[in-house]
Amino acid sequence: MNTIYDTDVLIIGSEGAGTRAAIAAAKQGASVLIVTKGRIGKSGATLMAAADISVDGASIFDVLGLSVGNSKDSPQIFLEDILRAGKFINNLPLAEKIVEAAPIRVKEMMAWGMKIRGVMQCPGHRYPRGVSTTGREIVRVLNKQLRSVDLTVKEYTFVIDLLTTGNSVIGAIGLDLRTGEFAVFRARAVILATGGGSMLYPIQTGAVELTGDGYAMALRAGARLVDFEMIQFMPLCLIGPLPYRGSYFPFSLVAESVDSLDGWLLNRRGERFMRRWDPELLEKTTRDKLSAAIGYEVKHGRGTPNGGIYLSLAHLPRNILDDFANRTLKLHLKKNWRFEGFDFSFIRDILSRGEALEVGPACHFFVGGIDVDLDCQTSLPGLFAAGEVVGGLHGANRLSGNACMEILVAGEMAGRKAAEYAKQANGSVVDQSQIDEIVTEAQAPLERKGSHTTFMVKKKIQERAWGKVGPIRDGQELEGALASLKELTHEHHQSGLTCKDRVYNPEWIQVLQNRNLLILLEAIIQCALAREESRGVHYRIDWPQQIEKWRCNLVVELTASGLEIYPRNPIE
């Protein structure tokens, strides 16, 4: 017998977007239940953010009351920058709404006690707009606020699928990882705030919970995704020394930022290859170009032994490096080279010896995602979505600071609108056969004698993702990758568990996650194959130019015959 929970608004995901939505929904008088795979305030990407939150420069001055604002900037100019970065396939009305509400939401966070460290300017932003704080601070303030409203939180519960009646969403089923039992959540409205899917890739900056479950659940329930080929890679993460592989470090302040040190990226021949990719901005270009350029060098055998590229400051006198770390980097990096509590002084030592660092792209952010309207409602009645799980705002590329802006603004909108929806929704009866079907499929790996291990299947999925839909893509290779998915799916269906325990069984969790990762991989491959051009974060070796006829969104739906991809004009 499964435990049954009843609520007006069910929120899946407990971090930036999820908690902000919960506060808004509870303030509307709705009963709210947050369900999260990890621990509240400790799972997902929000905690890890650096974190800058974008607000247009004029509002930084007028609304936030910070003297570092710039009255030459405006919401309109900010919007233009978002569209330019997104290569004009953004959801314009959604972007307008988010940019407009950003100052109000950030001011509210400041009123709730969020500490600000300053305002920074990142590439692609024509003015300083990054209101700088930390992910820890965002989480701390939201959780403090959460305690002032009445709601329930259920932690360590992996939501497996949504429950539907007709095409409306009326709840979800989760696996309580601590008991191994299933829980049925009956709700009048559901908000997906499950974040991105960076664990699809072997090198990533995100958290272990981020296996893209929200996208997969949404597709299975009948919702649409947009622009799923658009995956952002953080270009300058540590690739070596190996224990630090994938570590996110503020290299944006060494090589990528407008007022950073003049760091050089070199291939194994010592060539400063960015001259070929962006002769004007070189290493200070945007993340998409850096990631594609590095991916290209590595693919053509010009990378470092560990598959990265060299970042060198050897041309600079040592005291410039020290002075810079002491003054300019202080927003993120402490004098003793501690970053987010971790000791990165070995980087200073490597650079001081005149040696180069091995850096390279790591999967950072899912730019595309669930298709929503201006109320954060998906194409399915009763299903809302907010945060990184949503697509549209960023178009083909995201500017720094815009994700934290999105979680606060869209989180609030989704919570408010879901509560309003719940007030007028009739409670629907959940069909027991639907529950039985989901539970039977989820339990199957416990019962079968498998011929493949779940971790090996995960490794193969990640390798395929990195090789075929990483920072650079190629049509022929994409076709091959698509064809080979059949075999990988077969291996997934044959994967068994060496340990049959139901309680916190990592193999069981992995097999359930692999089911979702496989859908993600197929959707990305299909979209990347369909888009025969390069645009934003999507770079095709065989189609290196941006082509006007592709100024459109790619929509993904799951039909009885599989994934269907079709173009749609951008919403203007």
Ligand X SMILES: Cc1cc2nc3c(=O)[nH]c(=O)nc-3n(C[C@H](O)[C@H](O)[C@H](O)COP(=O)(O)OP(=O)(O)OC[C@H]3O[C@@H](n4cnc5c(N)ncnc54)[C@H](O)[C@@H]3O)c2cc1C
Rg, the chain, Cα only: 23
Torsion, Cα of 500, 504, 506, 511 (10° steps): 70
Q: Which stretch binds ligand X (CB under 6 A): 68-76, 203-211, 313-321, 441-449?
A: 203-211
C-beta of 442 vs 469, nearer to ligand X: 442
Minimum CB–partner distance for residue 160 and ligand X (Å): 7
Q: How many CA atoms lie within 13 A of 243 on its CB side?
A: 2
Q: Which of 137, 161, 213, 283 binds ligand X (CB under 6 A)?
A: 213
Give me the least distance between CB of 203 and ligand X, in Å please.
12
Q: How far is CA 446 from its chain centroid?
A: 31
Query: Which segment (69-77, 255-263, 382-390, 423-431) binds ligand X by CB under 6 A?
Result: 382-390
CA 466 to chain centre: 16
Which residue in 7, 10, 13, 154 binds ligand X (CB under 6 A)?
Answer: 13
- Comparison of 195 and 570: residue with beta carbon closer to ligand X: 195
Residue 215 Cβ vs ligand X, minimum distance, rounded to whole Å: 10
Subset of residues 221 to 280 that bind ligand X, contact rule: CB under 6 A: 248
Residue 334 exposure: Cα atoms within 13 Å on the Cβ side: 9
Residue 543 C-beta: closest distance to ligand X, Å = 28
The DSSP bridge pattern shows strands 157-165 and 168-176 to be: antiparallel
* Burial classification of residue 147, based on how many CB atoms lie within 10 Å of its CB (0-12 exposed, 13-18 middle, 19 or more buried): exposed
Q: How far is the CB of 329 from ligand X (least distance, A)?
A: 15
Among positions 151-170, residues that touch ligand X (CB under 6 A) are: 158-159
Are 70 and 377 in contact by the 8 Å Cβ rule? The answer is: no
C-alpha to C-alpha distances, 143 to 37, 212, 335, 410, nearest whole angstrom: 17, 24, 30, 17
Give the x-and-dash track for 35-74 against ligand X (CB under 6 A).
Answer: xxxx----xxxx-xxxxx----------------------
Tokens of 560: 């009885």
Choose the binding region for ligand X from 22-30, 189-197, 417-425, 474-482 (rule: CB under 6 A): 189-197
For ligand X, the binding residues in 477-506 under the rule CB under 6 A are: none
Determine, following the binding rule CB under 6 A, whether residue 412 of this chain makes contact with ligand X: no
Nearer Cβ to ligand X (106/403): 403
Handedness of CA 517, 519, 520, 522 (dihedral sign): positive
Task: State the minimum distance, in angstroms, from the CB of residue 157 to ligand X.
Answer: 6
Question: Between the CA of residue 283 and those of 82, 257, 264, 446, what are the distances in Å?
Answer: 21, 9, 7, 50
Pick from 38, 109, 20: which is nearest to 418 by CA? 20
Q: Is residue 206 within 8 Å of 199, Cβ to Cβ?
A: yes
Q: Which is nearer to ligand X, 478 or 523 (CB)?
A: 523
Q: Decide whether 200 or 478 has the Cβ nearer to ligand X.
A: 200
Q: Are 365 and 90 in contact (CB under 8 A)?
A: no
- Tell me how far, at minimum, the Cβ of 354 lies from ligand X, in Å: 29
Nearest approach, Cβ of 104 to ligand X (angstroms)?
Answer: 17
Using CB under 6 A as the binding rule, whether residue 507 contacts ligand X is answered as no
Both tokens of 295, joined, read 């991916």
d(CA 502, CA 504): 6
Q: Say which residue the tokens 């039992």 belong to.
A: 181
CB of residue 76 to ligand X, shortest distance in Å:
21
One character per residue 115-154, x = contact with ligand X (rule: CB under 6 A): ----------------------------------------
Under rule CB under 6 A, which residues in 515-554 are in contact with ligand X?
none
Q: From the list 360, 387, 392, 395, which residue makes contact with ligand X (rule: CB under 6 A)?
A: 387
Q: Does 17 bind ligand X (CB under 6 A)?
A: yes
For ligand X, the binding residue among 10, 18, 102, 123 (CB under 6 A) is 18
Task: Identify the residue among 5, 78, 310, 365 touching ligand X (CB under 6 A).
Answer: 365
Strand (E) or helix (H) holding 156: none
In angstroms, the Cα distances linking 238 to 26, 205, 235, 288 are: 42, 10, 9, 17
Of 137, 161, 388, 522, the one binding ligand X (CB under 6 A) is 388
Residue 205 beta carbon to ligand X: minimum distance, rounded to whole angstroms: 4
Residue 284 or 540 having the CB closest to ligand X: 284
For residues 381-412, one letter each, b for 16 or more C-beta atoms within 10 angstroms of the residue's C-beta and e for the rest, the string is: bbbbbbbbbbbbbbbbbbbbbbbbbbbbbbbb
As a whole number of angstroms, the distance between CA 297 and CA 246 comes to: 18
Stretch that binds ligand X, among 328-336, 384-392, 434-442, 449-457 (CB under 6 A): 384-392
Question: Which residue from 8, 1, 6, 15 is spatially nearest to 387, judged by alpha carbons?
Answer: 15
Q: Are the beta carbons of 267 and 309 closer than 8 angstroms?
A: yes
Q: Which of 8, 137, 209, 227 binds ligand X (CB under 6 A)?
A: 209
Give residue 3's identity as a one-letter amino acid code. Answer: T
Pick 388 or 477: Cβ nearer ligand X: 388
Binding-site member from 8, 15, 283, 358 for ligand X (CB under 6 A): 15
Q: How far apart are CA 283 and CA 264, in angstroms?
A: 7
Total number of residues that touch ligand X (CB under 6 A): 41
Residue numbers of the site for ligand X (CB under 6 A)?
Answer: 12-18, 35-38, 43-46, 48-52, 158-159, 193-195, 205-206, 209-210, 213, 248, 365, 387-389, 400-404, 407
